[in-house]
Amino acid sequence: MLKEIICTVCPMGCNISVEGEGENIASIKGYNCNRGIEYGKNEFAHPVRILTTTVKAADDNILLPVRSSKPIPKELIMECMSEIKKVRVAGKVKRYEVIIQNICGSDADIVATGSLE
């Protein structure tokens, strides 16, 4: 399998081509530094993303911005979004307060990036 990846580690945005199967990488091309090699390998074998979204307050008209405390495996993102959609926050919420602990067993928490008074 060949995967074309844009490296997002720095603004150069190198186009990295990674070829392999599963976690076995046969070749990697297009990087301009060692950080790109690492990024390309991880993105090929085990892509992760910081999840950024909103949760609803008890009053449906208010949205609280949240994000994951660490990158989440890409294959868990949709499941995490389903869990987040079920949540309604009530009362005061401080910035960086944990809204959901260990979401979907990912070891990441969903934390507020804004506050509610």
Sign of the CA dihedral with 76 first, then 109, 68, and 1 last = negative
Q: Tokens 């990295």 identify what position?
A: 16
Task: Please pick, from the candidates 7, 64, 80, 89, the single residue that binds ligand SF4 as defined by CB under 6 A.
Answer: 7
Q: Which is nearer to ligand SF4, 36 or 41 (CB)?
A: 36
Near ligand SF4 in 33-62, by CB under 6 A: 33, 35-36, 39
Q: Which is nearer to ligand SF4, 43 or 109 (CB)?
A: 43
Q: Which is nearer to ligand SF4, 47 or 111 (CB)?
A: 47
Task: Please pick, from the candidates 2, 26, 29, 32, the single residue that binds ligand SF4 as defined by CB under 6 A.
Answer: 32
Residue 54 CA to residue 68 CA, distance in Å, equals 11
Tell whether residue 10 is a contact of ligand SF4 (CB under 6 A): yes
φ/ψ of 42, rounded to 5, equals -65, -40
* CB neighbour class for 1 (10 Å; exposed up to 12, middle 13-18, buried from 19): exposed
Q: What is the number of other CB atoms lying within 10 angstroms of the CB of residue 74?
A: 13
What residue ranges bind ligand SF4 (CB under 6 A)? 7, 9-10, 12-14, 31-33, 35-36, 39
